[in-house]
Amino acid sequence: QQQVKQSPQSLIVQKGGISIINCAYENTAFDYFPWYQQFPGKGPALLIAIRPDVSEKKEGRFTISFNKSAKQFSLHIMDSQPGDSATYFCAASSTGYGQNFVFGPGTRLSVLP
């Protein structure tokens, strides 16, 4: 129940295209869903996050779509750029002390010039 599933494992997109990464969870106690971007040799960097009281959140070229009934959420990267090439992780957590983020296995995105 603690698992977060993520797909695809890898993704190749042409410059200017839309990158879509999907995640699914089982634990209905999760109520905070961040996305992290990680470049080789670096720690994950917080990209964008959503709470289940909204169905969509947009920040620049990055959009999270959230479907509470399906227990799914996705990251859309519009106008993908070569600099977006990185590994993306979705995560989930719930409020309260002593618990922490459960991460998906990651999606390696390559944006071709």
Residues 40-69, interacting with another protein (CB under 8 A): 41-46, 49, 51
**Cα separation of 27 and 6, whole Å?**
15
Site string for another protein, 15-44 (x = CB under 8 A): ----------------xx-x-x----xxxx
Please give the backbone phi and psi of residue 83, each rounded to the nearest 5 degrees, phi first: -65, -10
Judged by CB under 8 A, which stretch of 53-61, 62-70, 74-82, 91-99 contacts another protein? Answer: 91-99
CB nearer to another protein: pick between 34 and 64? 34
DSSP for 19-43, written as a single string: EEEEEEE--TT--BEEEEEE-TTS-
